């Protein structure tokens, strides 16, 4: 009995130490990012590097939101708004279209259903670099280069297959008795989806929506290829160009990274309950 208690205490101690180490290595880059964003340029370029700056400044944050004369700050603010617009439409449209399609794949019987699902998954897994040239030619002919519409369409080609792939498993797990009860009450397919499936699968829908949001928010390859001006440039491209076209400002790059990380962080924090539920349960199982 005593040996068992000692072993459990040792195991708990090992787990505690491991948790501290993992937490440190996970948060350390973000802590350093924040320190860099409030440090003066001279402190970021000194040798040896000062981990804790002698003086701090929040001027970069103020410039981004209130100083249009600062070109880097203005570029970041416009790119941030572009990203929010693009991601909003991508997330909403992907959830609407993906929910309808995933319900059809999960509950309806039709010819070539499995083949269509594999085809959808194939489009999701196809590397973007393989199709970037034909996409560029197509969008150029449609006069959509350097537009938010082009980014929305491109991101939907990634988000919708992902939503269909994830949501059809949630809809498949809903008990058929719910669907039969709705049919007895006179509900058609859309009413059954709206009143039965969506409420039951709400945690999964929210979790999938957040993941679709992150797919569009973090995308860089299409954004850097198909945008060239502030008309459609996204936040990821703007931050990358801080060390390209402009003089390298490590503090502004860090500030941009902090602000760019806030929307996904806030959304995840607000909907964390639904994320946990969505990852652990897919509805009522028969």
Enumerate residues 6+ apart whose C-beta is below 8 A from 119: none
Summarize pLDDT for 200-240 with one digit per residue, the tens: 888 888 888 888 998 899 899 999 999 988 888 898 888 88
Summarize pLDDT for 180-196 with one digit per residue, the tens: 788 887 888 888 888 88
Cβ proximity of 211 and 90 under 8 Å: no
pLDDT value, residue 5: 60
**Higher-confidence position of 141 and 42:** 141
Write the CA distances from 105 to 108, 113, 125, 172, integer angstroms. 6, 7, 19, 9
Q: Give me the residue spans of the domains in the chain.
A: 1-57, 63-280
Summarize pLDDT for 239-276 with one digit per residue, the tens: 887 765 546 777 888 888 888 888 888 888 887 776 66
Tokens of 285: 């199982």
Q: How far apart are CA 215 and CA 219, in angstroms?
A: 6
Q: How far apart are CA 97 and CA 156, in angstroms?
A: 10
Cα of 31 vs its chain's centroid, Å: 21
CATH code for the structural domain at 63-280: 1.10.3720.10
Query: Which backbone phi and psi does 155 adopt, to 5 degrees?
Result: -70, -30
Half-sphere exposure of 260 (CA within 13 A, CB side): 29
> Per-residue pLDDT for 281 more than 60?
no
Cα of 2 vs its chain's centroid, Å: 49
Summarize pLDDT for 85-111 with one digit per residue, the tens: 999 999 999 999 998 888 888 888 888
The DSSP secondary-structure symbol of 173 reads: T
Q: How many Å is the Cα radius of gyration of the chain?
A: 24
Cα of 169 vs its chain's centroid, Å: 20
> Per-residue pLDDT for 285 more than 60?
no
pLDDT value, residue 152: 94
> Per-residue pLDDT for 286 more than 80?
no
- % helix, strand, coil for the chain, step of 5: 75, 0, 25
Tokens of 206: 């929210």
């Amino acid at each position: 009995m005593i040996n068992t208690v000692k072993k459990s205490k040792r195991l708990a101690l090992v787990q505690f130490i491991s948790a501290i180490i993992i937490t440190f290595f996970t948060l350390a880059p973000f802590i350093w990012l924040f320190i860099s964003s409030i440090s003066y340029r001279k402190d970021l370029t000194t040798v040896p590097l000062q981990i804790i700056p002698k003086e701090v400044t929040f001027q970069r944050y103020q410039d981004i939101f209130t100083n249009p004369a600062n070109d880097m700050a203005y570029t970041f603010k416009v790119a941030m708004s572009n990203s929010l617009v693009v991601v909003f439409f991508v997330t909403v449209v992907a959830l609407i279209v993906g929910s309808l399609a995933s319900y059809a794949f999960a509950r309806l019987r039709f010819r070539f259903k499995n083949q269509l699902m594999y085809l959808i998954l194939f489009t999701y897994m196809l590397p973007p670099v393989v199709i970037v040239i034909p996409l560029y030619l197509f969008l150029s002919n449609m006069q959509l280069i350097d537009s938010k519409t082009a980014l929305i369409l491109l991101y939907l080609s990634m988000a919708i297959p992902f939503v269909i792939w994830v949501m059809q498993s949630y809809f498949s797990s809903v008990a058929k008795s719910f669907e039969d009860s709705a049919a007895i009450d006179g509900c058609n397919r859309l009413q059954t989806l709206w009143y039965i499936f969506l409420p039951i699968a709400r945690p999964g829908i929210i979790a999938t929506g957040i993941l679709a949001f992150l797919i569009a928010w973090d995308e860089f390859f299409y954004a850097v290829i198909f945008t060239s001006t502030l008309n459609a440039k996204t936040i990821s491209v703007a931050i990358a160009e801080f060390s390209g076209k402009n003089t390298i400002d490590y503090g502004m790059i860090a500030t941009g990274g902090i602000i760019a990380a806030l929307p996904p962080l806030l959304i995840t924090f607000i909907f964390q309950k639904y994320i946990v539920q969505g990852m652990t349960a897919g509805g009522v199982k028969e």
